[in-house]
Amino acid sequence: MVDRYDLVLVGGGLQNGLIALGVLARRPDARILMIERGAALGGNHTWSFHVDSVPEEARGWFAPLVEHRWERYQVRFPGLEKIVPQAYATCSSEHFAKVVGARFAAAPNAELRLATEVDEVGTDNVRLADGTIVAGRHVVDARGPRGPSADSGFQKFVGLEVELATPVDATTALLMDATVAQPDAFRFVYLLPFSPTRALIEDTYFANGPELDVAAVRQRVLAWIAQRGLTVKEIVREEHGVLPMPWRAGGPIARVPPLVAGYRGGWFHPATGYSVPVALRLACHVAKTFDGEVFGPAFDALAGEI
């Protein structure tokens, strides 16, 4: 027996979470299955975005995901510092999992399967590791980045969420401090103050190779903190990652089913790695075309902009 759904989402990260929220906002009774190999949705990430990059049509259902917001941010370059009066916001994986999980729990025909491995993704069905076949009128594969391509560089990061003994200005996000040493292609540090004494401080840099020395970059973060006269009372959480970056506009976006989405499908900004704005645009498209054909001229136009 094959279980049948309107929409099968493979991967429980940002992209598929947004697609699910967008579809359920339009069709609360939609039969949706989300499959995630991990024990929780979202992994261990912090997604940041400019608030004005959220499409008007998504603001209602996206709003619960906004965990922290600042009405202005600062950037620092050698010889230039500037305060930008533009709203900026973030969402952590933990908050994302709560919001998306609650929406699935409230939807009568939405099902979430965690700790579930997938063997194969087809155009209209998915085979699980235990041999179970689930079928979907639409199938979305958003299992995370593929391996690097021949033209890939890499964005690498180590971030520490810390409790500080020294208070900081919690009204302004430091979006980019590029006055730091530049050992590779480009490096900056950012500080997102969740309160006067709680902040996420992350060292992000670009390089040609994928190697990431987490311990060494962690020490760079701690050194940056100390150089600014701040004292860490406790490291609450750590996140790190290596993202293949194609260094060019346009990605390997497939225009046939299954829909390959998120980083796996090239749906991110190719120079900065920002994913929320692009993922939102794709989620809105899927929500609008859910009862018909996802692929078509509108999809081609959207894919052509990435």
Q: Could you report how far apart the first and last alpha carbons of the chain are, in Å? A: 39
User: What per-residue confidence (pLDDT) applies to 249?
Assistant: 47
User: What per-residue confidence (pLDDT) applies to 213?
Assistant: 96
User: What per-residue confidence (pLDDT) applies to 147?
Assistant: 67
User: What per-residue confidence (pLDDT) applies to 1?
Assistant: 62
Query: Which stretch of DSSP H or E encloses residue 7?
Result: strand 3-10
pLDDT along the chain (306 residues), means of 10: 89 97 97 97 94 97 98 97 98 97 98 97 96 96 78 90 96 98 92 98 94 97 97 97 72 83 87 90 96 92 86
Whether the CB-CB separation of 202 and 159 falls below 8 Å is answered with: yes
The per-residue b/e assignment along 168-193, b for 16 or more CB within 10 angstroms, e otherwise, is bebebbbbbbeebeeeeeebbbbbbb
